[in-house]
A = this chain, B = another copy of it.
Amino acid sequence: MKRNCAAIGIDIGGTTTSFGFVDQHGIILAEAVIPTHGEQPAVNLVARLQQEIGIELCTLPDNLQLLGIGIGAPNANYLRGTVENPPNLKWGTSVNLVQLFRDQYNLPVAITNDANAAALGEMCFGGAQGMKDFIVITLGTGLGSGIVTDGKLLYGSDGFAGELGHTVVDPDGRLCACGKKGCLETYVSAPGLCRTALELLEQRKPGGRLAKIAGDKLTSMDVYEAAKDGDPLAQEAFSVTARILGIKLADAVAHTSPQAIFLSGGLANAGSLLIEPAKQAMEEYLFTPYKGKIPILPSALPSGNNAVLGAAALIWHKQKEPV
């Protein structure tokens, strides 16, 4: 373990970009948020980040040693150091963001996608400390996944392994933004939950509070609040969502045999409305050798900006490896 050291974690989102100086325990020593301005070239964001990082650094002890810069970004490719066709950033086909940072800093720089960063964060600072085989599922506007096997993030041949959000629930199912039909994330995500609630409303035409909200105004928070307050339709929307998640998690286990599965992100906060029934469905479809062995757990990252912690873990992960 290194004292007086920190890694810079940067989380690039479509609207805002956060960064923080993260110590060995996952404590964020200083942090800030700036607008991403995704309509401008990536080099512009790097220049503004450099300035802000300099400002924050002045607030920290002089003897703080920087170990490196870890970046989490949508559509990031760890192997190539690039961000490729990011949906909400006008950065074109491919930008080598790692190179742009290396041009400015004499430090190790690494990049990966949000879900992979979440998995590394869980391994360095969260509930997966000491685990060598686990899966992290991030549930938000989409469903992301980071798979760790034998103590390492699984990247596969092309740097894009771990895309469980685009596995098939129903070959003739819902159209996904990716262009395919029936992808898991069209069912298990914040918008997926809303779509299920709206379908149930359409089929059942019940009373209840969700029926009073116009379809295009319905949010996953509405469904969550209603379910928590005992609304049967909202609870059914959760149980349908959880069952689909559980069955696909059983498939994921049959691929990589993890010790545990962690759920993080907005929808994961639904807790027992999601985790318990997902676990039940997963157990039903687990192959015998795995049955009863694999807990589904909420992320146990220390409070703070999870995405910044995950990005910093890209650097801390290497420091913590046994020599």
Contact = CB atoms under 8 A, between A and B. Distances in A.
B167 A254 contact: yes
A158 B247 contact: no
A285 B254 contact: no
A115 to B, nearest CB: 12
A147 B161 CA distance: 13
Given A149-B149, A254-B166, A157 B259 contact: yes
Nearest to A284: B180
Q: How large is the interface on A (under 10, 10 to 19, 20 to 34, 35 or more residues)?
A: 35 or more
A180 B285 contact: yes
A231 interface: no
A255 B157 CA distance: 11
Interface in A141-199: 147, 149-150, 152, 154-164, 166-168, 171, 178-181
A50 interface: no
B256 A255 contact: yes
A73 interface: no
Contacts of A290: 158, 160
A321 B187 CA distance: 43
B250 A252 contact: no
Secondary structure dominating the interface of A:
loop
Stoichiometry, as copies per complex, reads 2
Contact of A178 (B133, B147, B287): B287
A257 B164 contact: no
Contact of A255 (B131, B179, B252, B289): B252
Nearest to A147: B255
Contact of A179 (B179, B288, B293): B288
A167 B254 CA distance: 6
A97 B242 CA distance: 41
A163 B150 CA distance: 17
Given A133-B156, A152-B150, A168 B255 contact: no
B257 A158 contact: yes
The 5 A-B residue pairs whose C-beta atoms are closest, nearest first, are A156-B257, A161-B257, A166-B287, A133-B157, A157-B259
22 contacts: A84-B289, A133-B156, A149-B161, A150-B152, A150-B154, A150-B155, A157-B257, A158-B290, A158-B293, A160-B287, A161-B255, A163-B287, A164-B254, A167-B250, A167-B251, A167-B254, A168-B247, A168-B251, A180-B284, A181-B285, A255-B255, A255-B256
